[in-house]
Amino acid sequence: MKNRHPLLGERRPAALFLLPAVVIIALTTLYPLAYSLFLSGHSWNMSIPTSHPVPNFPTNYTALLSDPQFLSSVRTTLVFVGVSVVVELIVGMALALLITSSLRYLGLVRTVLLIPVMIAPVVVGILWRTLYHTDYGPINDALGMLGLPAREWLGDPKNALLSVIIVEVWQQTPVVTLILAAGLASIPVELGEAARVDGAGGLKVFRHITLPLLRRVILVVLLLRIMDLFKTFDVVYTLTQGGPGGATDVISNLIYRTGLRAFQLGTSSAMSWVFLVIVVLVSLAFVRQVMRRDQQA
């Protein structure tokens, strides 16, 4: 009888224990991805009971390039992601510097910051719809007390996207703040003290010491927030449902409406894959740019 390597005998039970997890992941992730890719090359309107997928590749993809509604949603999504992530990073950095400068009330501040994050996005949307209400919303009441006219926050196309961005920033900035605060806490205090002894001011210390040492933390924060912002749906849906006039119609909302309301599964699947490609390209371009700066530094 041939002797077997002891590791081979240990791998078989380990593989058996991992098998259920692999099967669940395949059924819940890989199969839906493969099936959506299949549907993206077909035309299928599920509202017709006798309909079935009809091959039409690459019509679904080429039609999106000339679809004004889809192109408008792409622009809206890019604006929403770009403005939100920049504001969250700036405000989050300011708050992180503030809470790390004084450790006396750090525990209380962290607790307060986590409150918006712990609220479900749907609840956040309903809450802010009430705050933004034109007639009885507290925000317009406060403007009236200051002698300013009431504004149509969610009903005016000029204000709707900004209003949604404010809600997103309010809920997600604490996440950015806490991650950046953890990064700031890991920087040796001696470096800043030595720079101040040499005559450097607070701004120079932040620019030449703090920011370079936080570069990788900032990269992680930006990547997480960019990917999360791209797939934002619930807050936008509960606030505006993509309106008014498509002013807040992000891609995820358009995919939902096309696939689960109009039952155009082929078109919505093609949108989803184009959406995935956009997210991957933006993320890769961002990572490459940051890595290039790291090499130059």
Among candidate residues 275, 216, 230, the one with its CA nearest the CA of residue 70: 275
Q: What does CATH list as the number for 68-296?
A: 1.10.3720.10
- Taking the whole predicted model, whether its pTM rises above 0.85 is answered as yes
Q: What is the pLDDT along the chain (297 residues), one digit of tens a residue?
A: 455 555 445 567 777 888 888 889 888 888 889 999 999 999 988 888 888 888 988 999 999 988 999 999 999 999 999 999 999 999 999 988 888 876 666 677 777 888 898 999 999 999 999 999 988 899 999 999 999 888 999 999 999 999 999 999 999 999 999 899 889 888 887 777 787 777 777 788 888 788 888 888 888 898 889 989 998 999 999 999 998 989 999 999 999 999 989 899 999 999 999 999 988 888 888 778 767 766 665
- Give 255-287 as a DSSP string: HHHHHHTS-BHHHHHHHHHHHHHHHHHHHHHHH
Domains of the chain by residue range: 1-31, 68-296
Angle of CA points 30, 35, 37, to nearest 5°? 95
